[in-house]
Amino acid sequence: MGGGGRSAPRQPSPEEIARTNARIQREEAERKLKEDSMKADTFLADNRITDDFRSGIFGQSDQAAQSQIGLLNEQLQNSFKDIRQRQAGRGQASSAGRFGLSGEATALGDSSRQGILDQAQSRANTRINDQQRFLDNAAASIRAGTSVETARSRYEADLNSANTAFEKLLNTAQSGDQRN
């Protein structure tokens, strides 16, 4: 019967245990990174900026600009009428002065109209760029390990603030003196 000397199985060394644990941790970190990246990609896809959104923002901004231009035209007509009345009161109703003034008023009006349209374009682009920045920030947070719920909550808070600010800009744009 020889119970010949079978020895107990060899136990891993502390270095082998440390290497195995490090490999397991690395694999888990890589798995988590891939999972977070997939969640971020899904978040971006679910919240992407659509052409309808872009059109809506540009439409709102353009509507405010058209309202501004209407006010500008009214203000210019009133100013031009006031100047003509003052000149007539002073006996300066000569055609040369009137045509020179008319040309100058037209040029200033055109410049102001272009400024309003440029502001409308810039206002819309800023709002759309803000939305993209909020999306990118939320996706980066998710990739860094923040929960989707937390990132979504921040994203929605940012959107609410941006929407409020945009509405305020639209309302402000339509009031006051529109001349540059």
Q: What's the Cα-to-Cα distance from 138 to each of 43, 86, 161, rounded to whole Å?
A: 8, 60, 15
pLDDT at 177: 55
pLDDT at 96: 47
In the chain the first and final C-alpha atoms are separated, in Å, by 110
**Mean pLDDT computed over every residue of the chain:** 86
pTM tops 0.85: no
Distance, CA of 162 to CA of 57 (rounded, Å): 12
